[in-house]
């Protein structure tokens, strides 16, 4: 990876994705509308333990067989849900405009009608539907709902059920809707109830930047820096919590894990023309990590470029040490132990070092390891790699402790990144 990687731009084509109905076929009805940028797809996806059909007053949906249709912008479509024998219609989930079954088409819309089997006497059904742009799970106390997979459950009449909504790493929980009793996530089942949990994608963070001032021997926010830098074009499943940065002599680069994986990284680079970190700019957009040992902790990682190799690190789960990977240009993967010391000890650190908040860099001379002081968001410690011991040693060829000053209140101090760009040492927090 000692060369520049350019994103290949393909010829763009317009693709209209018509989703198949859960219980029916994959056919869709275009309603006689040409697929242009002013037309959008309405998709019906049925959920719940029961069965039923959905039709639309404007021809297009008969689900049944046709569970999506193409409609002109601003068309108002009324959906009618009809439960099969032995089932009941619990309500509408999906996008917010679906809540009453009448949808105004101003973009692609997915509506989720829920049909449940009629409960036996003395029981009521609690149904969960999820909406919004993000993802997450809902569980219940007492047990029964794990949605996920189980999104409806019969409980004894008048059971009080507490619902817990847990967003995915790239999402936030935006609140409850549905039946009136769902508003706080605590439901008393005197009747069949459907609650809607809304999860939305987290907005992209930005980066607050500081640089080292040799006159004050501190890192100062905005010193010789663009104080705040935007991140653009990120895939929807970017895991904003796991990230790091490096400078390779040409580009400032930024990396995030793909949500739900421990071996896929998304790569961004700083575009001087826009002053933003852009996904895939002058980059391999998605990178793969191979060979990680079971002792490697993927909850965080560090990266650096040492003038000849791109390197990635994960902390050990069982000792104060880091596992080392390097980029193999022949495979385009980060490979454990490739041209590397596979595992390197980190020694001599203060007892109050917070190794869960750490970063690394190479400054042209020394490989460096950093960790915050426990309980502090301004003081951190420094180690240097000693080739004689093949270990990162606290204070070796290093100034420590170090202070970062002036970082804004919107800084997320749960993680940080550092790099050296050939001239300056730089420090970063993501925004909250």
| C-alpha of 400 from chain center | 34
Tell me: pLDDT of 52 over 50: yes
Which tens digits make up the pLDDT trace of 344-378? 999 999 999 999 999 999 999 999 999 999 999 99
Q: How confident is residue 119, by pLDDT bands cut at 50, 70 and 90?
A: confident
- Per-residue pLDDT averaged across 27-34, rounded? 53
Whole-number Å distance between alpha carbons of 199 and 148: 13
Residue tagged 């739900």 (tokens) = 260
With a pLDDT cut of 90, the percent of the chain lying above it is 83
Residues counted in the chain? 432
Using DSSP, state whether 338 is helix, strand or coil: coil
Whole-number Å distance between alpha carbons of 23 and 26: 10
Which tens digits make up the pLDDT trace of 276-307? 999 999 999 999 999 999 999 999 999 999 99
Which tens digits make up the pLDDT trace of 72-108? 999 999 999 999 999 999 999 988 899 999 999 999 9
Mean pLDDT of the chain: 91
The pLDDT value given to residue 37:
62
* DSSP state at residue 29: B
With a pLDDT cut of 70, the percent of the chain lying above it is 91
Tell me: pLDDT of 324 over 60: yes
Residue tagged 């009608």 (tokens) = 113
Give the residue among 302, 306, 428 at the shortest CA–CA distance from 367: 306
In angstroms, what is the C-alpha Rg of the chain?
26
Tokens of 257: 């894990």
Whole-number Å distance between alpha carbons of 209 and 273: 18
Residue 309's contacts (CB-CB under 8 Å, 6 or more residues apart) are 1, 2, 326, 327, 339
The pLDDT value given to residue 32:
54
The pLDDT value given to residue 133:
87
Residue tagged 């653009």 (tokens) = 232
Tokens of 70: 């193409």
Tell me: pLDDT of 2 over 80: no
**Around 184, how many Cα atoms within 13 Å sit in the side-chain half-sphere?**
5
Using DSSP, state whether 97 is helix, strand or coil: helix
Tell me: pLDDT of 25 over 60: no
Whole-number Å distance between alpha carbons of 122 and 143: 18
pTM for this model (two decimals): 0.69
Per domain, the residue ranges of the chain are: 39-201, 206-431
- State the chain's maximal CA–CA distance in angstroms: 79
Which tens digits make up the pLDDT trace of 368-424? 999 999 999 999 999 999 999 999 999 999 999 999 999 999 999 999 999 999 999
- Per-residue pLDDT averaged across 20-45, rounded? 62
Residue 382's contacts (CB-CB under 8 Å, 6 or more residues apart) are 368, 369, 370, 394, 395, 398, 399, 400, 401, 402
Whole-number Å distance between alpha carbons of 227 and 170: 25
């Amino acid at each position: 990876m000692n060369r520049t990687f350019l994103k290949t731009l393909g010829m763009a084509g317009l693709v209209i994705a018509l989703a198949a109905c859960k219980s029916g076929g994959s056919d869709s009805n275009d309603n006689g509308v040409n697929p242009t940028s002013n037309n959008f797809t309405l998709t019906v996806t049925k959920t719940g333990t029961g069965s039923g059909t959905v039709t639309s007053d404007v021809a297009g949906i008969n689900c049944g067989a046709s569970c999506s249709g193409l409609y002109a912008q601003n068309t108002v479509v009324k959906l009618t849900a009809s439960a099969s024998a032995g089932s009941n219609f619990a309500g509408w989930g999906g996008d917010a405009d679906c809540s009453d079954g009448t949808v105004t088409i101003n973009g692609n819309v997915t509506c989720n009608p829920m049909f449940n089997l009629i409960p036996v006497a003395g029981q009521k059904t609690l149904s969960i539907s999820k909406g919004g742009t993000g993802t997450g799970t809902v569980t219940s106390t007492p047990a029964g709902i794990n949605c996920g997979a189980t999104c409806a459950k019969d409980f004894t009449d008048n059971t009080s059920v507490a619902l817990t909504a847990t967003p995915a790493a790239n999402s936030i929980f935006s609140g409850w809707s549905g039946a009136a009793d769902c508003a706080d996530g605590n439901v008393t089942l005197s009747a069949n109830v459907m609650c809607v949990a809304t999860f939305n994608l987290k907005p992209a963070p930005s980066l607050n930047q500081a640089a080292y001032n040799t006159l004050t021997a501190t890192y100062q926010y905005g010193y010789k820096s663009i104080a705040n830098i935007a991140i653009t074009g990120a895939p929807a499943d970017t895991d904003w919590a796991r990230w790091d940065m490096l400078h390779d002599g040409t580009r400032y680069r930024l990396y995030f894990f793909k949500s739900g994986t421990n071996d896929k990284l998304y790569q961004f680079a700083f575009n001087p023309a826009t002053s933003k970190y852009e996904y895939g700019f002058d980059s391999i957009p998605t990178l793969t990590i191979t060979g990680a040992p079971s002792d490697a902790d993927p909850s965080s990682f560090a990266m650096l470029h040492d003038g000849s190799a791109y390197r990635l690190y994960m902390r050990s789960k069982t000792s104060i040490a880091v596992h080392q990977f390097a980029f193999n240009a022949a495979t385009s993967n980060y490979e454990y132990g490739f041209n590397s010391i596979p595992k390197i000890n980190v020694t001599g650190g203060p007892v109050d070092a917070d190794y869960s908040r750490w970063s690394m860099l190479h400054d042209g001379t020394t490989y460096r390891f950093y960790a915050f002081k426990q309980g502090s968001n301004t003081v951190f410690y420094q180690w240097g790699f000693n080739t004689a011991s093949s270990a990162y040693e606290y204070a070796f060829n290093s100034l420590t402790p170090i202070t970062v000053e002036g970082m804004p209140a919107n800084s997320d101090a749960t993680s940080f990144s550092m790099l050296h760009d050939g001239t300056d040492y730089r420090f970063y927090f993501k925004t909250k």
